[in-house]
Structure 1
Amino acid sequence: MVQLLAPLQLLWFGLAVPLVLLYVLKRRRIEREVGSTLLWEQALRDLRAERPWKRLIPHLSLLLQLLVLAVGAIALARPVGVGGATAGARTAVVIDTSSSMAAFEGGVTRLDLALGVARSLARALPPGGDLMLIEAAAAPAVVAAPSGDATGLEAVLGRLRVRGGRADLEAAIDLAAERLRGAPAGSRIVVLTDSAMDGEIALDGRSAPVEVQRVGTDVPNDAIVAVDVRSRATDEHPDRADIFVRIHRFAGDPADVFVTASVGDETLASRRITVAANGAESVVLTADLPPGPDGRAPLVRVVLGRPDGVPDAFPLDDVAVVPSPAAGRLPVFLIGAPIPAVERVFRTDPEVELFATTLAALGAGTDGSDGLEGLDGLDGLLVFLGDTPPSPPSGDSLVVAPTGDAVFDLALGEERASPQIITWDENDPLLRFVELSDVHIGALRPIESPAARTLVSTDHGPAIVAISRAVGETTLVAFDPMASDWPRDPSFVVFFRNVIERARTRRAAGGIAPGAVGEALRVPVSAGQALEVTTPSGRTLSVTARGELAVVAVPAEAGVFEVRAGDQTLQPLLALRNHLDPEESDLRARARFVVGDREAVGATAAVERAESWPWFAGALILLLLFEMLWATRKGAVT
């Protein structure tokens, strides 16, 4: 493809009009005084009858002069060759898959526009050329090795999706430049992005020229950038809460929007507000948020809408889901013979609802079955004091001073007297701010299971371990705290408070840590266990874990993901994914692509252009020489 850097210079070719006129106009006759007109009557009649112009006769000189004008005008216009690749050249296409690429324009997303450009590049490969695809997400990756197979490349393009979050474009360009090191002449890097990001990216100094092609246009957008739910309970309204929402408008004019909060299908509150141009507004909605029929704290869904009911260009930031304040109150079930020191720690936490019961009262394991029906109906932290059921229940659990030969699938060794604590994992959240150097244990039944995560080690084996499962986490303290001096140490209270906070956080988030839109779900499971994930849009994803932690790639959707492990039919694990990133919600192009100390102009930057004007200038000189020789040849008519 050829472009002109100075297209207005082509106007010089307009001189061809007077040039042609010179060849069709007759030579003007010279007037002279004569003594008599009698001898010139015939010539006078002929002069009055003839026209002022003559028929255009092809002359080589005219053709040469027209060629001189054409070649000179083209040379002044500075033609350059861009976009086309020479035979054998390699093209690296970097595709932005950040959240903003999910914005709609004309019924298609920006990513769809970028994929269309990439398909065109794949179909237009030169002979012997190949193309590689690099996905620019938070961590860039090569998704298609260099290939000349357009069909295979289009298949890879068809699998690309918006990943969510921000894209590290500079790292992706660096990766492309590294892969093109030593590539044939004419190789290049093509970056397809909406430029909707802050910052500056240098395009020079690469192993190949870089061409940036912007997709999409600047469109207005209203976004939820922050949301929180806080308790405002009173004696009359124990479940009263305030829902704080902050709205930001990324546009040059103000707009009205509706902010609506709901739980399930029930609308709690709604308000219409005006958001200033390029400004932000905060709104507070008040509602009662009692626990649901299953005892779980409700999840509050906040939706942003326009008065005309038409969704804006970027629906990802128009919805956010957050847990209610009731999720902060953690039900704790003490199951078994009381251990006073443990019970005392739980009672001192004002956000703990404490219940005491026994396995027999719950019917767990008393008839030889696993007896999990009664346990799975409990929503909260289950604390087993002594006896445990054969199988672990759903949710988080804590086992203190276990009896029997095993705890769930963790084997217990013979009792050892006076073990010495050797190490403890200070980096684990359960041992945050825990110091055990002055703690002495009276007796220990060491845990004999390599699958468990060791938290505290003694000279006789692990004393405290944790094991993560798809449906929760179990922490096991393999000794009786009352037979040690640990309850008198401050670390005792800190440890159990850490257990409470971890269980409270996981429960508030539905069991899986919350994250940004597009962030993968990290579900602790047993190797080979099947998972079924239901997305906010209703799609079902099936995954089989390959290790003890299943990383489930999910589509960039905002809302609640439900995760069921194996044959779990009771309360599923919930994962919240929200888009609360103001930078990605601003859909206007802001990235600066620079070359040296200047900003690249236009959509294409830092491309090594092959200017052709020297060739045209050389042709112009040759034509002028030829025309001069032709005009001065022997026998030429002057």
Structure 2
Amino acid sequence: MLLQAAGILWWAVPVCAALIALYLLKMRRSDATVPALFLWPQIMTDVRANALFQKLRPNLLLFLQLLFLCLLIFALARPSAKSSAPIGSATAIVIDASASMKAKDAAPSRFDAAKNRALALVGAMSPTDQIAVISAGAEAKSAASLTSDKKRLQDAIRSLTPQDAASDMGEALRLASALVGQRDGSKILLLSDGAFQEVANFSPGKAAVTFESFGSTGENVGIVALDSSETATGVRSFASIKNFGAKPAEIRLGIYADGSLIDAKDFTVQPGRSVGHEWSAPKRAEWIEARIETDDALESDNRAYWYAGGGRKTQVLLIGAGNFFLERALSLEPTIDLDKASTVPETARKEARYDIAIFDGVQPQPVNAKGIWMIGGQPHEMAQLSGELKEPSLSTSARNHPIMRHAELGAAYIEKAVRATAADWATPLAESGDAALIIAGERSGQRRLWMAWDIMQSDVALQPGFPIFAANAARWLAGETRENRGFAARTGQPIRISHPSNNGRFQLQLPNGSIAQLTGGENGVSLREAVYAGQYRLRGEALDLIFALSLLNQQESNIQPQKQTLLGGKTTVASGRALALKELWLYFAFLALMLLAVEWLVFIRRS
């Protein structure tokens, strides 16, 4: 027990002495003659008790009054006890729910240790305290707003789960500041291992910020990169593994293609160093998975996935007299199978044999294809023509369109082109002044691309960006998106599946096998639940999509607990378990009042 105003105890000496002096003072009494003293025993007792310089005789009232004064003075000294309750009547507890908090160097994990700490804080809070709980995952979420309801807070804390993604700590701290930052004596308590980026745009307001660090070791090995590319002989893949610890690590890397082991290798990874490994997967492989077997603290970065596409090729039909430059650009893309013809075959008019039909310098013909690419011919309702352009300059006007991404064609020389104005439903991708030179659009479920000049009457095919342009165009025209081919991504990235649905209902199967019911709209659904590493399956109206997420985040794989962090431009040093002084003066004051009531009852009975 601590006394926050111990000096007040010295007042007990003069106050108690004054009370005793009152009992020792001789009272002035009038003389009276009585026949016998034994008839007045009470008066004789009072006379002896008030006789000056006589010993104090036992007196219950004096004892009770002295005890009352001592308790009252002790209460004024503000007795307190050390408590694990958070400092401040309004406290926001921010719990880091990022991947690094799943490390098992604290029993059973850092995240569970942080939850237990928060539960202890809630259990020790006083009836007048208010606490809010915020989970700092890929998105900051308020698990419980400011409340004094212990059960509600405990249920909210127990419901929290860690994710396999980096935390948006800045947003979580700004949310905490919005809840308590305007209150005097408030507090923001951050429970984390410090494995997050510097938080720049943050001000705690009137709240005091305390950072408690969790974890004891940085020994961890993780997969930090995984990539694949399709070649003529199959899928060529590469993985990078890094040792974030201070000791050499023995690992075994296993490579799986569609669940079957195709390669394995043992490595010794030195502290702070990386090792790489390349391998070839079967030509028809769809999913590539890398796994490492090692004894470390974090499992989330021991697996990574890559979608190889299953070897399906885009079927392209090129109609025209022949174009060497265009054929060469398309042949550089290993996922394209190219057929050539002078006219559309009858079977291609009725059956969906081709994904893309390219009309090079000829008039478009009916064809059953997902996309049509028209070069130098009629724009097929995509534009209105109004003359001719001589040596037009080419300027990209839609750099963010999938076709123009990384495709630099601005230096190309064009001898002549037709002047065109894009239709309302089409988008100009490149222009010369107010005239559109490249137009893209989608109508009646078919994607279309039109170029206003003949490739053979320009040097555009000689530009370094033309093969990129041709590959981008082929992918876009074929509708090759992650909505229909699967995909792999990093955890924590916003994911939206643009799939039309009349009822807006989707089912998402998580890596642990549980099913989440999602509600989307006519344009698709956002996957906020996709924050765990592993394979997912999304089902909906005319949709059955498999995708996978991997951590691949060096900051989260570096699980070394941080002893300080930068919050709002200020260095916040990790403290020990924050202890508060629980005020006890109210209990002693109440006890003193109860004692005073007892003293009054004794006095009344004696009277």
TM-score interval (norm. to shorter): 0.5 to 0.7
Q: Say if 1:447 and 1:478, in contact at 8 Å, map to a contact too.
A: no
Kindly provide the amino acid, as one letter, of the partner of residue 302 in structure 2.
Answer: D
- Alignment map for 1:616-627 (pairs within 5 Å): none
Query: 454, 474, 479: which is aligned to 1:481?
Result: 454
Look up the match of 1:282.
275
C-alpha distance in 1 between matches for 2:151 and 2:347: 61
C-alpha distance in 1 between matches for 2:101 and 2:555: 13
Deviations 1:172-206 (A, max 9, x none): 334422432332x4432222223345769999974
C-alpha distance in 1 between matches for 2:518 and 2:486: 16
Kindly provide the amino acid, as one letter, of the partner of residue 283 in structure 2.
Answer: P
C-alpha distance in 1 between matches for 2:116 and 2:338: 60
Query: 550, 557, 562: which is aligned to 1:585?
Result: 557
Deviations 1:446-486 (A, max 9, x none): 55344x554235788765344699x9x9462264535x95x
C-alpha distance in 1 between matches for 2:293 and 2:309: 25
Query: 276, 281, 301: which is aligned to 1:317?
Result: 301
C-alpha distance in 2 between matches for 1:390 and 1:463: 24
- 1:301 shift after superposition: 1.3
Query: 370, 374, 382: which is aligned to 1:412?
Result: 382
Change in Cα spacing, 1:534 to 1:501, as seen in structure 2 (3 Å) is farther
SS of alignment partner, residue 300 of structure 2: helix
Look up the match of 2:396.
424
Change in Cα spacing, 1:158 to 1:603, as seen in structure 2 (3 Å) is closer
Root-mean-square deviation over aligned CA pairs:
5.6
Q: Say if 2:437 and 2:453, in contact at 8 Å, map to a contact too.
A: no
Look up the match of 1:207.
206
C-alpha distance in 2 between matches for 1:204 and 1:610: 26
Is the counterpart of residue 355 in structure 1 residue 338 in structure 2?
Answer: yes
Is the counterpart of residue 552 in structure 1 residue 527 in structure 2?
Answer: yes
- Alignment map for 1:401-550 (pairs within 5 Å): 401=375, 412-418=382-388, 424-425=396-397, 427-428=399-400, 430-431=403-404, 432-435=407-410, 439=414, 442-443=417-418, 447-450=422-425, 453-456=427-430, 464-466=438-440, 474=447, 476-477=449-450, 479=452, 481=454, 485=457, 487-489=458-460, 494-495=465-466, 497-500=468-471, 514-526=488-500, 534-538=509-513, 543=518, 545-546=520-521, 548=523, 550=525
Change in Cα spacing, 1:242 to 1:414, as seen in structure 2 (3 Å) is closer
Change in Cα spacing, 1:593 to 1:269, as seen in structure 2 (3 Å) is closer
C-alpha distance in 2 between matches for 1:565 and 1:300: 25
Kindly provide the amino acid, as one letter, of the partner of residue 188 in structure 1.
Answer: K
Deviations 1:499-551 (A, max 9, x none): 41576799798857753223232434457676665555555556555475753
- 1:239 shift after superposition: 4.6
- 1:602 shift after superposition: 1.4
- 1:389 shift after superposition: 6.8
Look up the match of 1:193.
192
Kindly provide the amino acid, as one letter, of the partner of residue 559 in structure 2.
Answer: L
Look up the match of 2:172.
172
Kindly provide the amino acid, as one letter, of the partner of residue 577 in structure 1.
Answer: L
- 1:259 shift after superposition: 1.1
Q: Say if 1:418 and 1:440, in contact at 8 Å, map to a contact too.
A: no
Look up the match of 2:9.
none
Change in Cα spacing, 1:344 to 1:363, as seen in structure 2 (3 Å) is closer
C-alpha distance in 2 between matches for 1:285 and 1:423: 40
Change in Cα spacing, 1:138 to 1:610, as seen in structure 2 (3 Å) is same
Deviations 1:136-188 (A, max 9, x none): 245645565445566666676576554543334355334422432332x4432
Look up the match of 1:29.
none
C-alpha distance in 2 between matches for 1:349 and 1:283: 27
Look up the match of 1:83.
85
Is the counterpart of residue 99 in structure 1 residue 99 in structure 2?
Answer: yes
C-alpha distance in 1 between matches for 2:373 and 2:521: 28
Change in Cα spacing, 1:132 to 1:417, as seen in structure 2 (3 Å) is farther
C-alpha distance in 2 between matches for 1:300 and 1:154: 42
Gap runs ≥5 in structure 2: 5-57, 590-607
Look up the match of 1:303.
291
- 1:224 shift after superposition: 1.8
Q: Say if 2:252 and 2:292, in contact at 8 Å, map to a contact too.
A: yes
Deviations 1:80-104 (A, max 9, x none): 5662577xx4332222122213335
Query: 288, 291, 297: which is aligned to 2:283?
Result: 291
Change in Cα spacing, 1:488 to 1:542, as seen in structure 2 (3 Å) is farther
Kindly provide the amino acid, as one letter, of the partner of residue 532 in structure 2.
Answer: E
C-alpha distance in 2 between matches for 1:331 and 1:465: 22
Look up the match of 2:252.
258
SS of alignment partner, residue 101 of structure 1: helix
Kindly provide the amino acid, as one letter, of the partner of residue 498 in structure 1.
Answer: F
Q: Say if 1:200 and 1:592, in contact at 8 Å, map to a contact too.
A: no
C-alpha distance in 1 between matches for 2:415 and 2:571: 66
Kindly provide the amino acid, as one letter, of the partner of residue 176 in structure 1.
Answer: A
SS of alignment partner, residue 403 of structure 2: helix
- 1:585 shift after superposition: 1.6
Query: 326, 338, 346: which is aligned to 1:343?
Result: 326
Change in Cα spacing, 1:339 to 1:160, as seen in structure 2 (3 Å) is farther
Kindly provide the amino acid, as one letter, of the partner of residue 246 in structure 1.
Answer: I
Q: Say if 1:221 and 1:313, in contact at 8 Å, map to a contact too.
A: yes
Sequence identity percentage? 17
Q: Say if 1:519 and 1:553, in contact at 8 Å, map to a contact too.
A: no
C-alpha distance in 2 between matches for 1:108 and 1:399: 59
TM-score, normalised on structure 1? 0.62
Change in Cα spacing, 1:357 to 1:459, as seen in structure 2 (3 Å) is same
Change in Cα spacing, 1:422 to 1:590, as seen in structure 2 (3 Å) is same
Is the counterpart of residue 267 in structure 1 residue 222 in structure 2?
Answer: no
Look up the match of 1:42.
none
Change in Cα spacing, 1:322 to 1:127, as seen in structure 2 (3 Å) is same
Is the counterpart of residue 248 in structure 1 residue 243 in structure 2?
Answer: yes
Look up the match of 2:37.
none
- 1:319 shift after superposition: 0.8
Change in Cα spacing, 1:160 to 1:205, as seen in structure 2 (3 Å) is closer
- Alignment map for 1:376-395 (pairs within 5 Å): 383=358, 387=364, 393=370
Q: Say if 1:445 and 1:478, in contact at 8 Å, map to a contact too.
A: no
Deviations 1:258-305 (A, max 9, x none): 2111112321121233344x444525364x42321xxxx543211111
C-alpha distance in 2 between matches for 1:102 and 1:382: 51
Kindly provide the amino acid, as one letter, of the partner of residue 92 in structure 1.
Answer: A
- 1:579 shift after superposition: 1.8
- 1:399 shift after superposition: 2.0
Q: Say if 2:102 and 2:109, in contact at 8 Å, map to a contact too.
A: yes
Change in Cα spacing, 1:349 to 1:453, as seen in structure 2 (3 Å) is same
Change in Cα spacing, 1:265 to 1:526, as seen in structure 2 (3 Å) is closer
Q: Say if 1:519 and 1:577, in contact at 8 Å, map to a contact too.
A: no
Q: How many residues align?
A: 518
C-alpha distance in 1 between matches for 2:506 and 2:463: 36
- Alignment map for 1:18-57 (pairs within 5 Å): none
Kindly provide the amino acid, as one letter, of the partner of residue 542 in structure 2.
Answer: D
Q: Say if 1:203 and 1:593, in contact at 8 Å, map to a contact too.
A: no
